[in-house]
């Protein structure tokens, strides 16, 4: 199932804490932690709730919709890219890359959606792209 691909995207470091997150990403799903005790959603994935420390957590399917909270265009590299914090519709923030975009037209507060980019080893990495302008 893994094809040889040309990709500059680093492959994820999968470990016991995040394997469900990356497994979901390979199915083009964005999963975030959700505490069944205090009901709060969190990211990054982990085996306990960062708010109440309950181990009673599960992996909720996120909508993939988010808003740009802050971003930086990394220009001093061969292939400039956008590093950003986005706030997911469910509340948690995640660090990610904004792709398929015009760097100059990005703005804080812009609505973005998850896309799944193939990394060096063929596994998929969630990133985000603007949705306004695609309409």
Report the distance separating Cα 110 and Cα 70, nearest Å: 10
Using the minimum distance from each CB to Zn ion, give the nearer residue, 52 or 73.
52
The answer for residues whose C-beta is within 8 angstroms of residue 67's C-beta and 6 or more apart is 86, 87, 89, 109, 110, 111, 112
Long-range contacts of 131-134 (CB under 8 A, 24+ apart): 131/65, 133/105
Is residue 58 a contact residue for Zn ion (CB under 5 A)?
no
Using the minimum distance from each CB to Zn ion, give the nearer residue, 37 or 47.
37
Nearest-approach distance from CB 94 to Zn ion, in angstroms: 18
Report which DSSP code applies to 31. E
Is residue 54 a contact residue for Zn ion (CB under 5 A)?
yes
Site string for Zn ion, 33-52 (x = CB under 5 A): --x-xx----------x-xx
- Would you tell me which residues interact with Zn ion (CB under 5 A)? 35, 37-38, 49, 51-52, 54
């Amino acid at each position: 199932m893994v094809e040889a691909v040309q990709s500059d995207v680093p492959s994820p470091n999968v470990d016991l804490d995040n394997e469900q997150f990356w497994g979901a990403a390979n199915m083009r799903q964005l999963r975030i932690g959700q505490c069944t005790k205090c009901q709060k959603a969190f990211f990054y994935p982990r085996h306990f709730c960062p708010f109440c420390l309950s181990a009673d957590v599960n992996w909720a399917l996120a909508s993939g919709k988010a808003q740009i909270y802050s971003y930086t265009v990394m220009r001093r590299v061969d292939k400039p890219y956008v590093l950003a914090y986005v706030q997911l519709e469910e509340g948690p923030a995640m660090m990610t890359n904004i792709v398929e975009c015009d760097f100059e037209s990005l703005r804080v507060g812009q609505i973005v959606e998850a896309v799944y980019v193939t990394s060096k080893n063929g596994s998929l990495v969630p990133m985000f792209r603007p949705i306004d302008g695609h309409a």
